[in-house]
Chains A and B, each alone.
Chain A
């Protein structure tokens, strides 16, 4: 009971109630995440200080990585991270959307749950296992079958030239695609399942074919959600370490060919951090970590903005709720 003191006009102190403690505790939990992000950013910047002072902006454009002569450049790693993640998205998104649509709309009731379960099981497999599978199953198959076939048919494109060892950017992209499939599929499936039935039936009643109904009802309804799912998948792909480092070839070079080996930020950190034997070397590695941190922030920020924009456009008069 909030009484006001008749003499001083001040409110008496609130009793420490269970409610108050609960509110404060949840506030603390909620604040801890931004604090953690802020703290990480500060620590990363501090650790990267020596490299930033020495190399400045040229760090982002240099391509040599020389721990002996202490010349460092981040471009090959940025390139590798972005290319492998983009490749993974290119492969995974159509498959995920198709799978989600199948599970939501077409699959017979007895197939839906077991298949969904298996897809989600894929997400539970540790990334080291994916890496091992990549080395012993995927890479040999790529080297002996897939890459020569690609070379024969599409070899005029710069993406499919050069010696094919199996290990390389293509292997990394494929493994990442398999790893982000379950995330995108399960989120999108839930979205599709939640499409309002009246909208679906309305479209069909008006004479739309099944595919036209999907285009007119499912995709607009789930648009921002699909984007969110893709960003989730992209986030995993950008940071994935073990599986990538085992199949990407670990060579800091920039090459258009997908058969060529490459390097990603997460992979180089995992490989070289514990043995970095000079302060500048360590600082350069931390700066690369900071760059990944910033890339992730940028990508997520851009996605949030896109989602906000498309939601706003939809509210103004597009289809869907």
Chain B
């Protein structure tokens, strides 16, 4: 018995004595989680001395945990608002990591995919003024298609979500009535429609209910082979959501990006731009409390903005356009420890 105890003690001692990788904790948005997982995995292979742990609890949760300093970095689709910035114990940098698109999907058996819609029609559907599929406004946009006399069931998100934020941001910018009555947010007071939980919930509802129409992240529509709407952009072109369309949206908006990079990408200028796109941000304190961890995060962010971007398209995320990467680089250089910048000096080129 004694011998077994000694053996166990030795094994435990050996296991805990060996150098463990430094743990860096983050939490936040669910939307970029698949890509962030891939990134952390790839980066750990290059730098095994650091291990990243990310909990996808939602953008709001990520912001809250960052404010409480229980995590080293946060992640959010919607940038922090003024109240949240004030509540944070220090200045927070918003680093855009990838692009996402919100698409409008529907279930209308017998109709070909890629219905055309304009911003006015979309806002009227979500405001509840258009209630049937064969409404003349819908029919006039799609002359070759016979739309049935069926109730149009709207499906939105029941949980608070960055996808909802981007979508309601879009509706607010194209419809003054929506902006005034409802506004934008991760959760809003939807005038009509059922709520589905998560992108999966909305996708499930739309798939199972003939006559349903809802909004989901691009990847969900693609993976479930759901028809998507070709949406008219600011320049009047009908754009089908693709990675190129998303990048075009970002490039168009990046000229007017504010210094802190908290920007909205909806309804941007640009002929090829898809109207409903958005950044997802990684949130990090400007003044880092721990030098080693701070440097690790700065280096990781640099890698993510450059080498990491190539992993985005295969997972159906939009890589950042060069103008945005340039501005993100400047932000990463601002991360500091006690006044001195943390980013490991990069070789040029």
Is the pair A275, B209 in contact by a Cβ cutoff of 8 Å? no
Residue of B nearest to A267 (CB): B158
Max chain B Cβ within 10 angstroms of own Cβ: one of A65, A139, A250: A250
Residue of A nearest to B61 (CB): A274
Residues 53-90 of chain B, each 1 if its beta carbon lies under 8 Å from chain A, else 0: 00001111101000000000000001001011000000
Is the pair A249, B209 in contact by a Cβ cutoff of 8 Å? no
Is the pair B194, A166 in contact by a Cβ cutoff of 8 Å? no
Give CA–CA (A189, B60) in the complex, Å: 47
Collect the chain B residues with CB atoms within 8 Å of residue A140's CB: 208
Residues 260-275 of chain A, each 1 if its beta carbon lies under 8 Å from chain B, else 0: 0101000100111011
With known contacts A65-B189, A68-B185, A271-B159, A276–B60 Cβ distance under 8 A: yes
Interface residues in A59-82 by Cβ distance below 8 A to B read: 64-69
Residue of B nearest to A163 (CB): B151
Closest Cβ–Cβ distance, residue A9 to chain B (whole Å): 51
Interface residues in B186-229 by Cβ distance below 8 A to A read: 186-190, 193-197, 201, 204-205, 208-209
Interface residues in A266-321 by Cβ distance below 8 A to B read: 267, 270-272, 274-279, 281
Interface residues on A, range: 20 to 34
Interface residues in B12-60 by Cβ distance below 8 A to A read: 57-60
Q: Is B230 an interface residue (CB 8 A)?
A: no
Residue of A nearest to B81 (CB): A277
Give CA–CA (A261, B153) in the complex, Å: 12
Is the pair B183, A68 in contact by a Cβ cutoff of 8 Å? yes
Residue A245 contacts which of B84, B153, B158 (CB distance < 8 angstroms)?
B158
**Number of residues from B at the complex interface, CB < 8 A:** 35
Residue of A nearest to B186 (CB): A275
Interface residues in B106-162 by Cβ distance below 8 A to A read: 151, 153, 158-161
With known contacts A68-B183, A135-B208, A136-B208, A275–B58 Cβ distance under 8 A: yes
Collect the chain B residues with CB atoms within 8 Å of residue A281's CB: 187
Give CA–CA (A66, B185) in the complex, Å: 10
Q: Is B182 an interface residue (CB 8 A)?
A: yes
Q: Is B94 an interface residue (CB 8 A)?
A: no
Max chain B Cβ within 10 angstroms of own Cβ: one of A66, A139, A163: A66
Is the pair A250, B185 in contact by a Cβ cutoff of 8 Å? no
Residue of A nearest to B208 (CB): A140
Q: Is A258 an interface residue (CB 8 A)?
A: no
Collect the chain A residues with CB atoms within 8 Å of residue B151's CB: 163
Residues 130-147 of chain A, each 1 if its beta carbon lies under 8 Å from chain B, else 0: 000001100110010000
Give CA–CA (A69, B184) in the complex, Å: 10
Give CA–CA (A67, B160) in the complex, Å: 10
Give CA–CA (A270, B61) in the complex, Å: 13
Known pairs A249-B195, A250-B158, A275-B159; list 11 more (Cβ under 8 Å). A66-B188, A68-B182, A68-B187, A69-B183, A163-B153, A245-B158, A274-B60, A275-B59, A275-B60, A276-B60, A277-B185
Q: List 24 A-B contacts (CB under 8 A).
A: A67-B160, A68-B185, A69-B183, A135-B204, A135-B205, A135-B208, A140-B208, A163-B151, A165-B153, A166-B208, A249-B195, A250-B158, A250-B195, A250-B197, A251-B193, A271-B195, A274-B57, A274-B159, A275-B59, A276-B160, A277-B60, A277-B63, A278-B83, A279-B83
Point out residues on B near A: beta carbons under 8 Å.
Answer: 57-61, 63, 78, 81, 83-84, 151, 153, 158-161, 182-190, 193-197, 201, 204-205, 208-209
5 nearest interchain CB pairs? A275-B160, A250-B195, A250-B158, A275-B60, A68-B183
